[in-house]
Amino acid sequence: MALRPSEEFKRDAVRIALTSGLTRRQASSDLGVGMSTLCKWIRTYRDADVVSKEDQELAKENERLRRENRLLREERELLKKATIFFADQSK
């Protein structure tokens, strides 16, 4: 018979899933629980103030910075290709 996770574990798992920046699949794998189980816990505990306002703000800021970082990387790659293209044209 398997042990049932404690309420504290479930709340911590929800906090990690919502603030870590990992996908739910990655978080469930790291925590050793099924994805459907983690999603059920998130639905159950999302409104229970598991995640503090500060953690929510940090998670939002992290997501914004990830998007900005991804955009800047794409722009840099484009500029590298343009530099190579124009260098070849000037020869």
pLDDT digits (tens, 9 = 90+) for 54-91: 877 887 888 899 899 999 999 999 999 999 988 888 77
Mean pLDDT, the chain, integer: 86
Instruction: Give me 60's structure tokens.
Output: 């939002």
pLDDT in tens, 4-61: 888 899 988 988 888 888 888 999 999 999 999 999 998 888 776 677 778 778 878 8
Report the distance separating Cα 73 and Cα 65, nearest Å: 12
Instruction: Let me know: does 21 contact 58? Beta carbons within 8 Å.
Output: no
Report the distance separating Cα 14 and Cα 25, nearest Å: 13
